[in-house]
Amino acid sequence: MKALQMKSIRMLAVGLLLLGTYVAGAQQGKNKPGLTGRYGGTATNKAAEVITVTLDLSEKDGAVSGTISSSHGDFPITSGSHQGKTVTLQFDAQGTSGTISLEASDDKLGGTWSAGDDGGTVEVKRVADQGSDKKS
């Protein structure tokens, strides 16, 4: 009888250990930042002009929001999604709808953009948030 109780206690201890490991792993996955952050780089248009671009992105449950700042102006992201490596952003370019289609790789995003009759490529990488360098 005592041997059966000891075996049950050991099984319970192993089960609790495995449960703790599973919960810790699940929490680690939740803490991944996803796309949230600041990205800087360049885009080109049909005229082969190099445009400085900054994306300030916030991701929650696969939905992406934020702003696009460029040497051509600042544009709100009206909707966005992140599924696997694919990132799609819809934005308002002063009354013209635009789309950015990207592929995520490490801390880089690359792909194409279009708005009205213009479009081209875009390449950005994660950069430090300027606001985090400020001291009170």
Look up the domain containing 24 and give its range: 1-32
Indicate whether 19 and 47 sit together in one domain.
no
Indicate whether 26 and 75 sit together in one domain.
no
Residue 10: predicted pLDDT = 61
Indicate whether 43 and 23 sit together in one domain.
no
Q: Is 135 within a domain?
A: no
The average pLDDT across 51-77 equals: 95
Q: Is 136 within a domain?
A: no
In DSSP notation, 111-134 reads EEEEETTEEEEEEEEEE--GGGG-
Tell me 45's DSSP state.
Answer: -
- In the block, tokens 């635009």 appear at 98
Whether the predicted pLDDT of 22 surpasses 60: no
Q: Is 64 within a domain?
A: yes
Residue 86: predicted pLDDT = 96
Indicate whether 50 and 97 sit together in one domain.
yes
The average pLDDT across 37-52 equals: 96
Indicate whether 114 and 65 sit together in one domain.
yes
Residues 6+ apart with CB under 8 A from 40: 52, 53, 54, 55, 124, 125, 127
Whether the predicted pLDDT of 11 surpasses 90: no
Single-letter amino acid, residue 61: D
The average pLDDT across 1-5 equals: 60
Whether the predicted pLDDT of 85 surpasses 60: yes
Q: Domain holding 90: CATH number? A: 2.40.128.120
Residue 128: predicted pLDDT = 83
The whole-angstrom separation of Cα 115 and Cα 15 is 56
Q: Is 124 within a domain?
A: yes
What are the tens digits of pLDDT across the range 89-116?
Answer: 999 988 999 999 999 998 999 999 999 9
Domains in the chain: how many in total? 2
Indicate whether 23 and 46 sit together in one domain.
no
Whether the predicted pLDDT of 9 surpasses 70: no
Indicate whether 115 and 52 sit together in one domain.
yes
